[in-house]
Amino acid sequence: MTNIIFYLAAGVAILSTFMVITRLNAVHALLYLIVSLLSVALIFFILGAPFAAALEVIIYAGAIMILFIFVIMMLNLGPPAIEKERLLLKPGMWLGPGLLAAILLIELVLILTGPGSATKAAEVPPRAVGLTLFGPYVLGVELASILLLAGLVGAFHLARKERND
């Protein structure tokens, strides 16, 4: 049963991600990305990582995507933007990257089908994650907080409109 749900979710994730990258309208793409992220959250859950699944929904699908939507709203893109996007996106452009991606995918498959891959996954409860996070990885947590602070300052600085430009 869980197997079927896993593959179903995986299919939804791939399909919606494909939709993300082909959309012309940014808001549509964002909605598809939220679908994709939700299905990945489901996969996390199935893989025995409920804490990660919760964070995926709350932070990725919630906070970060909201940020995107804010930006798109502030840029005030309308139908002309879609027309412009159509001009930018020519069908021939898919060929090269698609080929490269196909090569990389084949290589990935070849690597993953090596020996000893068919082991099962084990559940890791949030308690264990929390204990490890604030145990051996506490320095990493500090670094992450500093990174977020740098991101905050950087975003503030970059987004500011300079008056005498």
Site for another protein in 40-69 (CB under 8 A): 40, 43-44, 46-49, 51-52, 55-56, 59-60, 63-64, 67-68
Cβ contact 80:64 at 8 Å? no
Cα angle 71, 74, 78 (rounded to 5 degrees) comes to 100
Q: Does 73 bind another protein (CB under 8 A)?
A: no
Per-residue x/- marks for another protein, 11-40, CB under 8 A?
--xx--xx-xx----x--xx--x--xx--x
Distances (CA, A) of 45 to 59, 78, 99, 119: 16, 38, 33, 17
Span 93-122, contacts to another protein by CB under 8 A: 93-94, 96-98, 100-101, 103-105, 107-113, 117-122
To another protein, the closest distance from the beta carbon of 88 in angstroms equals 5
| Torsion angles phi and psi, residue 141, rounded to 5 | -65, -45
